[in-house]
């Protein structure tokens, strides 16, 4: 690692102030950023750890019934505390990485990083979640802007993520067994006003909504209604699978998710 | 340099660390607690698992400064007060849950974290929990047997595959 200073503010205001320094980077749980720093792919002058900010940790239910998760909440906490209110989201969180990773990694860190194969972006997009930062609220549809790209500005911190709770939902992940990331993951969520389907792991543009499947499933919520697999154009091709293979998996995992949602 | 103070295996310790000092470096190089191993240094292998505030974490993927004020437990803190092996450690010996032993500190710490939350896990739950702990010798089978035994469950019932 290159050398840097580390700061541990205890409030959002102090964290924002610390991040106003040139070349400062926020540190969530560090389960992606620390390996990145070790490879010298990132060279901040100051690392601002968000881990000591109590006000961005925890899970609760808002007045509108939405599940509100603090940006600094670990995957392990979401897996435990969202289990009764939003089981599909809790199951997703409980299957990220491994237990030690889940004890450190945070929802805010995952969404800010927007890895094209991460699980949480699929949940946020399929749920029509709202990403709340220290300055504004961003709809999930506007938030994800391509591989590792988001609507966040420099120094902006995710303080909370609000998930409208669906009538039915399920996430199905076809795991890349070495990394535990999704080779392809599909989150299906059925709301009173329609079905949303979000796909991670597949597209070179990162997480996306499969609108054809949404239309079909909104009129008939059954695995048989899932359309034929989309084209492999624009899908990630690597040693783990071709674009066409990933495209095929999208339809397979969508069917499984619909079946699991019941 | 940043001053950190934490409790490690029940003792209060302090030290000066750089921003990029990993918790595992602080434990091994400053405190000389070399029981915590570094297998991969890329968050994959789990040999460096310790408990921070009661939760299993990979100490190679956390900065020492982030553990300021925390309660840390390492493999050196696992034995009983009289120096005899803890139930989990004894079970690893009894059931041959180690060969070269390099992964064992992380395996024992992960096993302890599992049994704290889930005192009677199924065999599948044990295997699932060890997802982030890699062993290149045993094929895991005897590790799973050891953890099942440590939880007071019937070991011969564990399938041999």
Q: Which domain holds residue A233?
A: 168-261
For chain A, state the CA radius of gyration: 18
Give the per-residue pLDDT at A177.
84
Q: Which of A101, A132, A163 is the last residue of a domain?
A: A163
The answer to whether B161 and B142 have CB atoms below 8 angstroms apart is: no
Q: Angle A219-A225-A226 (CA atoms, 0-180°, nearest 5)?
A: 115
* B30 vs B18: CA distance, rounded Å: 12
| A3, A38, A98: residue with CB nearest B19 | A3
Residue A99 touches partner B, C-beta closer than 8 Å? yes
Backbone angles phi, psi at A63, to 5 degrees: -60, -30
CA distance B152 to chain A (A): 22
CA distance A232 to chain B (A): 31
Give the per-residue pLDDT at A154.
93
Q: Where along chain B do its domains lie? A: 2-77, 87-150
> Are residues A159 and A44 part of one domain?
yes
The answer to whether A201 and A182 have CB atoms below 8 angstroms apart is: yes
> Are residues A157 and A176 part of one domain?
no
Parallel, antiparallel or unpaired: strands A130-133 and A59-61:
unpaired
Across the interface, whether the CB atoms of B56 and A2 are under 8 A apart is answered no
Q: How many domains does chain A have?
A: 2
> Are residues A235 and A112 part of one domain?
no
> Are residues A181 and A147 part of one domain?
no
> Are residues A249 and A236 part of one domain?
yes
> Are residues A73 and A184 part of one domain?
no
Q: In chain B, which residues have their Cβ closer than 8 Å to the Cβ of A99?
A: 56, 110, 113-114, 129, 131-132
Q: Which of A163, A178, A195 is the last residue of a domain?
A: A163
The answer to whether B72 and B15 have CB atoms below 8 angstroms apart is: no
User: What is the residue-level pLDDT of chain B in tens, covering all 161 positions?
Assistant: 999 999 999 999 999 999 999 999 999 999 999 999 999 999 999 999 999 999 999 999 999 999 999 999 999 999 999 999 999 999 999 999 999 999 999 999 999 999 999 999 999 999 999 999 999 999 999 999 999 999 999 887 555 54
Give the per-residue pLDDT at A180.
84
The answer to whether B146 and B139 have CB atoms below 8 angstroms apart is: no
> Are residues A158 and A172 part of one domain?
no
Q: How many CA atoms lie within 13 A of A71 on its CB side?
A: 28
Of residues B82, B78, B113, the one with CA closest to residue B93: B78
> Are residues A118 and A60 part of one domain?
yes
Burial level of B33, CB count in 10 A (0-12/13-18/19+)? buried
Q: Domain spanning B2-77: which superfamily?
A: Beta-grasp domain (3.10.20.30)
- C-beta atoms surrounding B87 within 10 Å: 15
C-alpha distance from residue A4 to each of A10, A219, B26 (Å): 19, 54, 16
Instruction: Write down the CATH number for the domain with range B87-150.
Output: 1.10.150.120
Q: Which of A163, A191, A223 is the last residue of a domain?
A: A163
> Are residues A211 and A157 part of one domain?
no
Kindly report the CATH number assigned to the domain that includes residue A13: 3.30.465.10
Burial level of A228, CB count in 10 A (0-12/13-18/19+)? exposed
Of residues A28, A73, A79, A103, the one with CA closest to residue B55: A103
Residues of chain A with pLDDT under 50: none
* Residues of B engaging A, defined by a Cβ cutoff of 8 Å: 2, 18-20, 22, 41-43, 46, 49, 55-58, 61-63, 65-66, 68, 110, 113-114, 129, 131-133
Give the per-residue pLDDT at A22.
84
Across the interface, whether the CB atoms of B63 and A31 are under 8 A apart is answered no
> Are residues A211 and A138 part of one domain?
no
pLDDT, averaged across chain A: 97
Give the per-residue pLDDT at B158.
59
What is the number of CB-based contacts under 8 A between chain A and chain B?
76
> Are residues A104 and A216 part of one domain?
no
> Are residues A30 and A136 part of one domain?
yes
Q: In chain B, which residues have their Cβ closer than 8 Å to the Cβ of A8?
A: 65-66, 68
């Amino acid at each position: 690692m290159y050398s840097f200073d580390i700061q541990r503010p205890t409030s959002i205001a102090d964290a924002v102030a610390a991040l106003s320094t040139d070349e400062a980077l926020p540190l969530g749980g560090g389960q992606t950023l620390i390996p990145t720093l070790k490879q010298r792919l990132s060279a901040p002058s100051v690392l601002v750890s968000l881990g000591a900010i109590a006000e961005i940790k925890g899970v609760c239910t808002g007045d509108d019934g939405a599940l509100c998760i603090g940006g600094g909440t670990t995957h392990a906490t979401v897996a435990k505390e969202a289990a009764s209110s939003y089981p599909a989201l809790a199951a997703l969180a409980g299957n990220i990485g491994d237990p030690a990773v889940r004890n450190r990694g945070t929802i805010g860190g995952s969404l800010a990083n927007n890895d094209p194969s991460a699980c949480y972006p699929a949940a946020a997009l399929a749920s029509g979640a709202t990403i709340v930062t220290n300055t504004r609220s961003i709809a999930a549809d506007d938030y994800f802007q391509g591989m590792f790209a988001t609507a966040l500005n420099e120094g902006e911190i995710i303080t909370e993520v609000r998930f409208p709770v669906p009538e039915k939902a399920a996430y199905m992940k076809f795991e890349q067994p070495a990394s535990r990331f999704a080779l392809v993951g599909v989150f299906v969520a059925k709301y009173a006003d329609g079905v949303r389907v979000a796909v991670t792991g597949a597209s070179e543009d990162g997480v996306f909504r499969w609108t054809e499947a949404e239309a079909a499933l909104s009129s008939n919520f059954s695995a048989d209604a899932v359309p034929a697999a989309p084209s492999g154009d624009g899908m990630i091709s690597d040693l783990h699978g071709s674009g066409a293979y990933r495209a095929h998996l999208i339809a397979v995992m969508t069917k499984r998710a619909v079946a699991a949602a019941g | 340099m940043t001053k950190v103070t934490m409790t490690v295996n029940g003792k209060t310790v302090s030290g000066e660390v750089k921003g990029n000092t990993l918790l595992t470096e602080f434990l091994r190089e400053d405190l000389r607690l070399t029981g915590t191993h570094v297998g991969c240094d890329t968050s994959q292998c789990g040999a460096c698992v310790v408990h921070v505030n009661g939760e299993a974490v990979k100490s190679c993927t956390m900065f020492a400064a982030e553990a300021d004020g925390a309660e840390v437990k390492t493999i050196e803190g696992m034995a009983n007060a009289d120096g005899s092996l803890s139930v989990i450690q004894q079970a690893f010996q009894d059931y041959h849950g180690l060969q070269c032993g390099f992964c064992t500190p992380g395996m024992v710490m992960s096993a302890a974290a599992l049994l704290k939350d889930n005192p009677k896990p199924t065999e599948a739950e044990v295997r699932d929990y060890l997802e982030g702990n890699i062993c290149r010798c045993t094929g895991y089978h005897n590790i799973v047997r050891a953890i099942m035994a440590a939880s007071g469950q019937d070991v011969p019932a564990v399938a041999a595959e």
